[in-house]
């Protein structure tokens, strides 16, 4: 079994954790009204933005990580 990071935690453990967090996030998002997406939120690193923009940024950030992982998979032959 492959491990991630410096500890002996299997990569699969981190994947399960991310899947669980995404499921909870989706359950929250589907309950929101369209007007909720125009509400302001504040990110400590990106400042104030609408919830819609924050979700877009989150999605792009996740896609970036997926691209990094796939690149590593190809490079390392996983």
Tell me the per-residue pLDDT of 19-70, one tens digit each, with 9 for 90 and over.
Answer: 999 999 999 999 999 999 999 999 999 999 999 999 999 999 988 988 988 8
CA distance 11 to 30: 29
CB 58 within 8 A of CB 49: no
At 66 the pLDDT is: 86
Strands 40-43 and 3-4: unpaired
Q: Which of the 8 DSSP states describes residue 69?
A: H
Model confidence at 4, in pLDDT bands (50, 70, 90)?
low
- What does the longest C-alpha to C-alpha distance in the chain come to? 46
CB 52 within 8 A of CB 37: yes
pTM over 0.85: no
At 74 the pLDDT is: 86
CB 71 within 8 A of CB 77: no
At 11 the pLDDT is: 78
At 2 the pLDDT is: 58
């Amino acid at each position: 079994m492959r491990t991630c990071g410096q500890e002996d935690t299997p990569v699969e453990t981190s994947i399960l954790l991310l899947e669980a967090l995404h499921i909870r996030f989706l359950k929250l998002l589907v309950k929101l009204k369209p007007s909720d997406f125009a509400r302001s939120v504040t990110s400590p690193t990106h400042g104030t933005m609408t919830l819609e923009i924050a979700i877009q940024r989150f999605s792009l950030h996740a896609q970036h990580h997926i691209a990094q992982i796939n690149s590593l998979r190809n490079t390392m032959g996983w």
